Structure 1
Amino acid sequence: MSFLRRLLGDRTPAGFPGSLSPGEEVVDSAPVEGGGHLVVTTLGLWVPSEGGARRVGWHLVGKAAWADGVFTLTESSETGTAGSAVVLADLPPVRFRLPSPGKVPHQVRLRVDGSVRSRHRQEIGSGGAWFVQRKVPGRDGTVLQVRPDPGTDVALVTAIAEQVAAKLANPAE
């Protein structure tokens, strides 16, 4: 049993259908109106899904917002690579009504912000892209993620991201 679990007790909600990874600890949870829970862990945010629950790693939370009793999650999907960089696209936002949110919105904010090491917005042609270095839970180091705006030339963004990733890997060159 881990130190946190001994100190705080098991915070896994009753009936939680997810299967935590070894060393993954539940930090907080909140029931979702209509069934299931949002479960904050050291590795990500577990959300209700068909057939149970699934984890969204902190590095794949594109946006999270809390307003008027509704938690809105925009998950990012890895759509490709550019050298050692990962190209992302946002999935449609999903909304969860939380009648008793507790500290879940705050804990999500802390963990998402904590995963970001640096960010830079670059205008490219008629669009732009975010270049973000993030810590991936359970791994050493950081990963460069690039999220092109809808309508931005993805091939151009990918070429730029590949150059940036190479420069970050070998800053002396």
Structure 2
Amino acid sequence: MALLPRRVKPPAALRKLLDSDERILAVADLSGSPAVVATQRGLWLPVETGWRRVDWDQVVKATWSEDGMHVIEGVVDEQGIVSDLPEATIRFSEARNLPTVVRTRVESSIGRWEQVRVPGGTGRLVGRRVPGADGLRWTARLDTGTPNSPAAREALVDYLGQVARMTPEQLFPGG
């Protein structure tokens, strides 16, 4: 009986896609298809043509259930507003430490967030760390249940403008 779990290597085709300084942090086994890999830059997901990396700052939400890992990726428009892509569900034969790594990386990509009121509901301003870049990238997203109206979007754009004019001392008082 082995004391330590066997080390799993990602497929060679995926290793060729990694940036030269990209480190593998976790690998999960999938039944019947290629692995899912987490690096310090993002989550590599299998797609029909191979793999695609979702950078940590683009992961809106990642949860786990009996069905597997559920990932919602966000796309940022030219105004800085995030729209969700359809949820991807990945079923593992063995998740290993991938859930812990994903949770840690997504949470650590968030520098600051604040819920704000918009017409018809609420939204969130989120300052996220982007792999390979200094500072935070601020985006806004409507909360679930808030209608995607022109007035709500305009309010989010206004909030983003206010954040852009703030100094680091205003954004992080006492820090």
TM range (shorter): 0.7 to 0.9
Q: Are 2:36 and 1:38 aligned? A: yes
- With the length of structure 2 as denominator, give the TM-score of the two structures: 0.82
Residue 4 (structure 2) aligns with:
none
Q: Does 1:165 align with 2:161?
A: no
Unaligned runs of 5+ in 2: 1-6
Match of 2:25 among 24, 27, 36: 27
Q: TM-score, normalised by structure 1?
A: 0.83
Distance 2:9 2:114 in 1: 36
Q: Which consecutive segments of 4 or more residues in structure 1 shift more than 4 A?
A: 168-172
Q: Distance in 1 between matches of 2:8 and 2:135?
A: 29
- Across the two proteins, how many residue pairs are aligned to each other? 159
CA-based RMSD: 2.1
1:111 counterpart letter in structure 2: R
Change (3 A) 1:129 1:34: farther
Fraction of identical pairs, as percent: 28
Q: Does 1:116 align with 2:110?
A: yes
Match of 2:81 in 1: 87
Aligned-partner SS, 1:71: strand
Alpha-carbon contact 2:11-2:35 (below 8 Å) kept: no
Give 1:21-170 correspondences, 5 Å limit: 21-81=19-79, 86-149=80-143, 151-152=147-148, 153-168=152-167
Distance 2:139 2:167 in 1: 12
Verify the 8 A CA contact 1:11 1:27 in the aligned structure 2. Answer: no
- Please list the CA deviations of residues 50-94 of structure 1 after superposition, one character each: whole Å capped at 9, or x if unmatched: 20000000000000001115000000111223xxxx321111111
